[in-house]
Structure 1
Amino acid sequence: MAKVVVIGSGPAGVSAALYIRRSGVDVTVFSMGVSLSGLNKAEKIENYYGLAEPISGGELYAQGIEGAKRIGVEFVEDELLSLMFNDTFTGFQITGKTQVLEADSVILATGASRQTLKIPGMKEFEGKGVSYCATCDAFFYRGKTVAVIGEGPYALHEVQALLPHAARVMLLTNGIESLPDVPAGVSMLTEKIAAVAGGERVEKIIFANGTEQEVDGVFMALGTAGSTAIAKKVGVQLAGNSIKIDAWGATNVPGLFAAGDCTGGLLQVAKAVYQGAEAGLAAVKYLRKKQ
């Protein structure tokens, strides 16, 4: 079991890992690699301390990784599907597409994205039939009809979480024709989605071709699991679309910390590195008290 797993390999995650490893604690960074890093999208960075000349985001990302590897930080590349408590509730289980890790403490540093559809009804029905966490809300849809919007491993993970509870589960790929292997009993619709509609709660999905599908709930699982969706699965308090933390990066869940863009505020490398250092040191203190 890794002592600490840091989810995210951007400035906040790598900064946290550096401080953890320099404190003599084993740490693994779990991420999807450079392709999903917001830093990699920056053409030039020239407002960061210590840079005599501008540097591309990709170069800064690569240098951060190499520096962490040099002092013994482990890196794992995989798609994150879920973060849950372990069987004894004494630590955490991090499930990826190809592997499962366990840790005594976790730091979320996964950026600020939460993917949704910009269509009528999606925002209006949040909390009224539109959900971003099947593990959190599946129980409320016992014997009902639900739809998961997505087309990849994360969407299939949400489908599996709903199957023991809902009477019917549908997978809506929103126009994507490259289809995954769907579990038996799950129907799949590939039509483009135009709107979510209803009265006080979600009642139906309207497709671009004019057809409709009655549903009791809609679960968003586009792309990969975002920070807030992952955090909600273990009961983390949110502030809007950001993870709520204290001055040391701790969430309301013991052993779970967060840093960087996923906590809101200034979306800058300097802030991410600072918060990563705070969260890394706080995780080390948490482990020492736990021993």
Structure 2
Amino acid sequence: MSEVYDVLIIGGGAGGLSAGVYCGRGKMKTLVLEGSARTGGQCAKTNELENYPGIVESTGPALMDKFREHCDKFGVEFQRGMVSGLKMAEDGFTKEVTTKDGTVYQAKSVIVATGANPRILGIKGEREFTAKGVAYCATCDAEFFEDLDIIVVGSGNTAVEESVFLTKFVNSVRMVVLHDEGTMDADRTAQEQALANDKISFIWNSTVEEICGDELVNGVRIKNLKTGEITEHDTDGVFMFVGTVPNTEFLEGAVELNRGYIKVDDKMATSMPGVFGAGDVNDKWLRQVVTAAGDGAVAAVAAERYIAEEEHWSHSVLEAKEDRLVAFWNPLDKQSLELMSQLETQAEEHGLKVVTIDTYKSRNIADRYEIASIPTVIRFREGEALKRVETPSAEKLEELF
């Protein structure tokens, strides 16, 4: 546990590998912890991939191999491990990541890219025909069912919206709905769109009992929940839209979640300083390979800046032998600019050094000291805040000396 990584990435899918490329290229000591024998996440389980920009045609595994090769080029380390816990160390900076076998890793920052899995209902034939007629993403797979007849399982917003999208490609969509005729889980607007679409029909009060086929899906057995009658229907594919399950069990109580997904800001930062989220595990609108890769890039750059800011703060203020004046300011703020010239002049007269913190760029540090207004100046001694003044006048500044 003595080795401390700059960045530890949990998960080796598109988001994690993209983060690895950026971290490695940024000369950060980076480790990717992957629970599976093969990196690539959900994308590595996709047989055909046609919507990643610049890659006209490929397979998911082939694209993820390229991502991994790119990480290797920049010296990113890889290890197997299923993560069971994440916490902040006592120093308030280092993060500790524990795996199920008891190994503890230390890192200055962590990027969680553990993804989300489609909810599996456990229908007979569902796993057997996954990627062989059973699909979970219309945006990814619609083209492969062009001019064919398909079944959609589910009636929530995602199921209805994806069904409408699928009608641009397929010959027909039959939605299997648990509820009585006319009742769906989707909102009214989505329902109206589906009901008005000539290509969409409904099988009410029903569930799919079995997905049938030879090498590919060729039919389903459907059970009527009121009569118990089971009927057989020919189909070329089955799209399952019954939700996804994020892989975040180990984060309970560590970072803020929403329905199990990680809540992040525009820099992919979570509620724990120095911990970032990337990819399908985030609480977000679109879950695609390209958006996961984008998240990974943002998280990596944010992690790099977080580390630089924290190490600068520690070196310049917390470990300083002499007193420091820390000015929390914003260079775009007129009052901040006026204050800085006064502060530097007075500090020089008293033999003190001024450290500036841009509250927009260094939000973690500003929040740590509850900076509510700018400019705010705090005098530190041996890492402890002695006295502060907020939006000070020249006379008020004298109180710091």
1:110 aligns with 2:124: no
What does residue 275 of structure 1 align with? 295
For 1:136-184, what per-residue CA distance to the aligned partner results, in whole angstroms no more than 9, with x for missing partners?
Answer: xxxxxxxxxxxxxxxxxxxxxxxxxxxxxxxxxxxxxxxxxxxxxxxxx
The reply to whether residue 285 of structure 1 matches residue 305 of structure 2 is yes
Instruction: State how far apart, in whole Å, the 1-side matches of 2:21 and 2:40 are.
Output: 21
1:1-291 mapped onto 2 (5 Å cutoff): 1-33=4-36, 34=38, 37-52=41-56, 54-98=57-101, 99-113=103-117, 227-234=247-254, 236-263=255-282, 264-291=284-311
Q: Any conservation in 2 of the 1:115–1:226 contact (CA below 8 Å)?
A: no
| 1:7-32 deviation per Cα after TM superposition (whole angstroms, max 9, x unaligned) | 01111111111111212211111111
Alignment-mate amino acid for residue 106 of structure 1? V
Q: Deviations over 1:71-93 (max 9, x none)?
A: 11111112222222234443211
TM-score, normalization by structure 2: 0.43
Percent identity (aligned): 32
**Contact kept? 2:7, 2:108, Cα under 8 Å:** yes
Contact 1:114 1:228 in 2 (8 A): no
Q: Which runs of 5+ in 1 are unaligned?
A: 119-224
Structure number, greater radius of gyration = 2
| Amino acid of the structure 1 residue aligned with 2:96 | Q
Secondary structure of residue in 1 paired with 2:116:
coil
Q: Which moved more, 1:89-98 or 1:263-272?
A: 89-98
| Aligned amino acid, residue 237 of structure 1 | E
Deviation at 1:270, TM superposition (A): 0.8
Q: Distance in 2 between matches of 1:247 and 1:36?
A: 24
Structure 1 position 59, deviation (Å): 1.4
1:21–1:72: 8 Å Cα contact kept in structure 2?
A: yes
Q: Output the CA distance in 1 between the equivalents of 2:61 and 2:309.
A: 37
| Structure 1 residue identity aligned to 2:267 | W
Q: CA deviation at 1:94?
A: 1.2
What RMSD, in angstroms, separates the aligned Cα atoms of the two structures? 2.4
The letter for the 2-side match of 1:274 is: G
Shift of 1:36: 7.9
Aligned equivalents of 2:246 and 2:258: distance in 1? 15
26-35 vs 240-249, which moves further: 26-35
Deviations 1:190-233 (A, max 9, x none): xxxxxxxxxxxxxxxxxxxxxxxxxxxxxxxxxxx963322223
Matched position secondary structure for 2:248: helix
DSSP-derived class of the 1:38 partner: helix
> Any idea what the Cα deviations from partners look like across 1:10-67, whole Å, max 9, x if unmatched?
1111111111121221111111132782112111101111113x21111111221111
Task: Name 1:204's counterpart in structure 2.
Answer: none
Deviation at 1:112, TM superposition (A): 1.6
Instruction: State the alpha-carbon separation in 2 of the partners of residues 90 and 114 from structure 1.
Output: 35
Counterpart of 1:106 in 2: which secondary structure? strand
- Residues 73 and 84 (structure 1 numbering): CA distance in 2 closer, same or farther, change over 3 Å? same
Alignment check: 8 A CA contact 2:7 2:30 kept: yes
Change (3 A) 1:27 1:62: same
Contact 2:14–2:41 (8 Å) recurs in 1: no
**Residue type of the partner of 2:26?**
S
3-state secondary structure, aligned to 1:75: strand
3-state DSSP of counterpart to 1:233: coil
Report how many residues are paired: 183
Q: Could you tell me how far 1:97 is from its partner in structure 2? A: 3.4
Write the distance in 1 (CA, Å) between the matches of 2:53 and 2:98: 36
- Pick 1 or 2: higher relative contact order, CA cutoff 8 A, min separation 6: 1
Amino acid at match of 2:51: N
Q: 1:36 to 1:226 in 2, by over 3 A?
A: farther
